[in-house]
Amino acid sequence: MEYDYPLVCVIDKELTNIMETINTETPVGLDQQIPIRGLYIDGREVDATSDELIEVRNPSTGEVIACIQHAQEEDVDRAMKSARRAFESPEWGGLSVRARARLVNKLADAMEERIDELYQLETVNNGRPINETRAQVSRLPDFFRYNAGLALARRDSVIPVEGDYLNYTLRTPLGVVGNCTPFNHPLMILCKSLAPVLASGCVTVVKPSEYTPLTTFKLAEIFSDAGLPSGVFNVVTGLGHTTGKALSSHPGLNKLVLTGGTEAGQIAGSLAAKNFASQTLELGGKTPVLVFDDFDVDQAVNYAAFSAFVGAGQTCICGSRHIVHKSIYNEFVEKLAKKTTSIRIGDPSEPGTQLGPVISEKQRQRIMKYIEAGHQDGARLVAGGRIPDAPGLEKGYFVEPTVFADVTPTMTIFQEEVFGPFTSITPFETEEEALRIANDSPFGLAGAVRTRDVHRAHRVSAKLNCGIVWINDHHRLDPASPWGGVKLSGIGREGGTESFDEHFDVKSVMVSTDERPDFDWYRDNVSKRRLN
């Protein structure tokens, strides 16, 4: 039986110990011992106030691998208070910038030492092929090192002002940051957000996706063992409309960082705004990929498959709309269809697997509805479109990588985010038409351009309405590069100095360098030169 959310059940906690996550072939039952994870508050694992548990499944098999406790409002409040105590404590809040940077670098080293354990657990929990997971997770310690470097290099401003004054700025850490992370890149998106939190001197309460919480717990434990003070990094688990709502609306929240769907961002963002919390929201996307006729078709096809199907297409910057010049359109369609059917679907723990499952049965059914919408709107299916029936895949949430051709901008599959191994192809004749088609979207997270004309590459990139553009590449990020979107794709930026700087309040200090011992504004004969 499948559920819209992971199954919420009640189990006597006395039946089971909190233990390391393991695979199990038995479903949850009242008389069975299963791995249960508590909340992580004040440097240790604790029980939630509710007995409700949420199943965590391996999406490649459908098997339950753990249960997490369902944090309620009072549990979130407990985590927030723990974070606030840590923020104000001498052990964390009293650290010098250099001491904190040294600790953040130490955390990066500790993470790197356990990297094999982390990427293997990530593969089991979210179903991404192990070669992809290894490549992504192995890079994450660099986010902490980069932000530690920013902390050391930070300089406050001295501002030239009129008159006998010295004006300078002071930056102070915002305080408690709520991080809501998604299922598609659990560790990567967590680290992208967590690194500036720690390097700036802030503290955090993290709500991971209920589908993929396991590596978040593991990282909290690794950092605690490496010397991170208690309360700096707390974890609460649960559903978005309960636990997430409690975190987003908490009056003690100073900043909300959320990666997820646009609707979730609108709801959580409006809750946080009531308490005037700062926000960074990375939301939905519908990435256009503009393929011009001077670019090698075979190379364009290879990039297309990579952009559309890596991570089973479950990325907000998935190459979901390929807009291809008419002169190479038919060749591109034929070759991408052939490439797509050659992709090996299978067990994500096997090195030879190229495409794993999507996260849940709910998500698979959503993708199948979009496939049906493509048929109904008259698009031409050229690859995929089915649930694979190969032996060994029956219990997992697999979908064939899917390509529709002859897609027009009015079609549902052109406008709406599918979030799966799914892409569309649309022809164009002129550069102006390609830009018009590309920008015909409520989203604006990323875009890509395939061309050998350097002038066109920069010209088109400047006119794409989005926050990220790749020229002759895709999916690339760096700790130093800002990441975020426009329109319904969110606000704020992660990565780079932009993200680090957004974790501070800026205070302006105005110092008079003229003692003016006889100053008396209200004396009758005072020279009232100016007030401001």
Which one is catalytic: 52, 55, 210, 282?
Answer: 282
Amino acid in the structure at residue 132: E
Contact 80, 176 (CB under 8 A): yes
CA distance 262 to 485: 11
Based on the residue annotation, tell me whether 14 is a catalytic residue of this protein: no
This prediction has a pTM of 0.92
Same fold yes or no, 8-282 and 288-486: no
CB-based contacts of 111: which residues, under 8 Å, 6+ apart? 118, 140, 141, 144, 219, 222, 223
- Which pair of tokens denotes residue 456? 């066109």
In the block, which residue shows the tokens 């009232």? 528
Encode pLDDT of 10-68 as tens digits: 433 333 332 333 333 333 343 456 789 999 999 999 999 999 999 999 999 999 999 99
**CATH code that applies to domain 8-282:** 3.40.605.10
* Bridge pairing between strands 278-282 and 490-491: antiparallel
| φ, ψ of residue 188 in degrees (nearest 5) | -60, -45
SS3 call for 495: coil
- 98-104: which pairs have CB atoms within 8 A and are 24 or more residues apart? 98/152, 100/148, 100/151, 100/198, 100/199, 100/201, 101/148, 101/149, 101/151, 101/152, 101/199, 102/148, 103/198, 103/227, 103/228, 104/144, 104/145, 104/147, 104/148, 104/151, 104/195, 104/198, 104/199
Based on the residue annotation, tell me whether 282 is a catalytic residue of this protein: yes
Fold annotation for 288-486? Aldehyde Dehydrogenase; Chain A, domain 2 (3.40.309)
Encode pLDDT of 349-405 as tens digits: 999 999 999 999 999 999 999 999 999 999 999 999 999 999 999 999 999 999 999
Encode pLDDT of 195-247 as tens digits: 999 999 999 999 999 999 999 999 999 999 999 999 999 999 999 999 999 99
Which one is catalytic: 180, 316, 318, 466?
Answer: 316
- Which pair of tokens denotes residue 153? 């290099």
Q: What are the boundaries of each domain within the chain? A: 8-282, 288-486
Closest CA to 163 of 507, 514, 508: 514
